[in-house]
Amino acid sequence: MQFIDKKIEDYSISKSNRPSHECDLIEVYTKENVFGAQMLIGKMEASLLGFLLRSIKAKRVLELGTFTGYSALAMAENLPSSGEVITIDINQKTVDIAKSFWTKSQHGHKIKSLIGSGLEVIKDLVGPFDFVFIDADKRNYIDYLKLTIPLLSAQGMIVIDNVLWDAKVLPDYQLDKSEHRDRNTEFIRLVNDYVSEAPDLYGTLLPIRDGMFLIQKI
Ligand SMILES: C[S@@+](CC[C@H](N)C(=O)[O-])C[C@H]1O[C@@H](n2cnc3c(N)ncnc32)[C@H](O)[C@@H]1O
């Protein structure tokens, strides 16, 4: 669901710094060839991620959910040349597509892909990370958050994607538990409640695209 009027969003994108032509190529290829292309974060969200990375002068980024590599490249473009994006995905096939585009970008060398289940791979990672972008399986969102908070640098930030989940997180929405997407609704409500109630976290939930939770340690 798009919460912001499309004309307003298009105008905002047109006046914003945007991901590169190489990211556009990933977007076009994914929409034409890959199932689940609606999962791409798109230009508006990518522009905001770039702004956040620049504002905290991020050098090391951890991403959960590579898919075809759009968000990883968009983030890499906003890091210094010594910067690093470690991105995790369970699907080798879509990561192969991602790599075929990263190699054509001058920022591709900053991206390191790790294949495997997010929960397993995170356990072997050593922080600190300046920025964590959580955009993988919703079932594990709460654990991804809990596992990555201790890996954050002092000025670090976590962004969780899809936290409005087509507005199904709203209290008056009646869950249909036989629906896969509604089981995910419960997982997302859980993480949203956790952040809003955590005394050691500062969170801002933005209604951009499908909802982005911006989180820092207090
Ligand atoms: C929403 S997509 C990521 C989109 C990407 N961030 C972008 O905007 O370009 C979610 C990804 O999470 C991956 N995924 C699903 N379950 C996973 C798991 N248990 N561990 C790691 N990745 C997983 C999927 O294979 C999929 O590529």
- Under CATH, which number does the domain 6-217 receive? 3.40.50.150
Query: What pLDDT, in 10s, does the model give residues 47-102?
Result: 999 999 999 999 999 999 999 999 999 999 999 999 999 999 999 999 999 999 99
CA angle (18 as vertex; 92, 167 as ends), nearest 5: 70
Ligand 1 centroid distance, CA of 125 (Å): 18
Residue 1: is its pLDDT beyond 80? no
Query: What pLDDT, in 10s, does the model give residues 145-179?
Result: 999 999 999 999 999 999 999 999 998 888 777 76
How far apart are alpha carbons 132 and 114 in whole angstroms?
15
Distances (CA, A) of 179 to 37, 135, 174: 21, 20, 12
How many of the other CB atoms lie within 10 Å of CB of 16?
A: 14
Best residue among 39, 139, 184 to mutate for probing ligand 1's pocket (most ligand atoms within 8 Å of CB) is 39
Residue 53: burial class (beta carbons within 10 Å; 0-12, 13-18, 19+):
buried
Ligand 1 pocket, Cβ-based, cut-off 6 angstroms: 39-41, 65-67, 70-71, 88-91, 94, 117-118, 135-137
